[in-house]
């Protein structure tokens, strides 16, 4: 799948993702380091916070777990479309996904 990520500076980049890896891993693998993801995807830091701007038609993202919700609620930058990118797995159906990296807490 391919997705578009907008950096904090407002630069939109298209990324060819590896399916089966998390969105966080794919963003970092593309060389975007401002998404710190300091806990490495173990759901304990919230430094992988993104805003999901567009989901392909007919596709639903998995519900947030309680831990994901709790971590996001601790962010000053929580929005309705906030997600932790380590909790979203890239798969072919998500081709065309658009996300923006949230400001740093």
- Minimum CB separation from ligand FES for residue 57, in Å? 27
Rule CB under 6 A: choose which of 5, 15, 17, 84 binds ligand FES.
84
Does residue number 86 form part of the binding site for ligand FES (CB under 6 A)? yes
Rule CB under 6 A: choose which of 1, 32, 39, 78 binds ligand FES.
39
Does residue number 78 form part of the binding site for ligand FES (CB under 6 A)? no
Does residue number 21 form part of the binding site for ligand FES (CB under 6 A)? no
Using CA atoms, how far residue 93 sits from 1, 33, 78, in Å, is 8, 26, 26
Rule CB under 6 A: choose which of 5, 27, 46, 72 binds ligand FES.
46
Task: For residue 40, give the 3-state DSSP assignment.
Answer: coil
Main-chain dihedrals φ then ψ at residue 70, nearest 5 degrees = -60, -45
**CA dist., res. 2 & res. 30, Å (int):** 12
**CA dist., res. 94 & res. 78, Å (int):** 23
Nearer to ligand FES, 15 or 46 (CB): 46
């Amino acid at each position: 799948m391919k997705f578009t990520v907008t950096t904090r500076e407002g630069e939109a980049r298209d990324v060819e993702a590896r399916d089966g890896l998390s969105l966080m891993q794919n963003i970092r693998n593309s060389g975007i380091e401002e998404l710190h993801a300091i806990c490495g995807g173990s759901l304990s830091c919230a430094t992988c916070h993104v805003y999901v701007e567009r989901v392909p038609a007919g596709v639903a993202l998995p519900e947030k777990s309680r831990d994901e919700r709790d971590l996001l609620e601790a962010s000053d930058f929580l929005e309705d479309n906030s997600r932790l990118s380590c909790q979203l797995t890239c798969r072919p159906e998500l081709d065309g996904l658009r996300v923006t990296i949230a400001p740093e807490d």
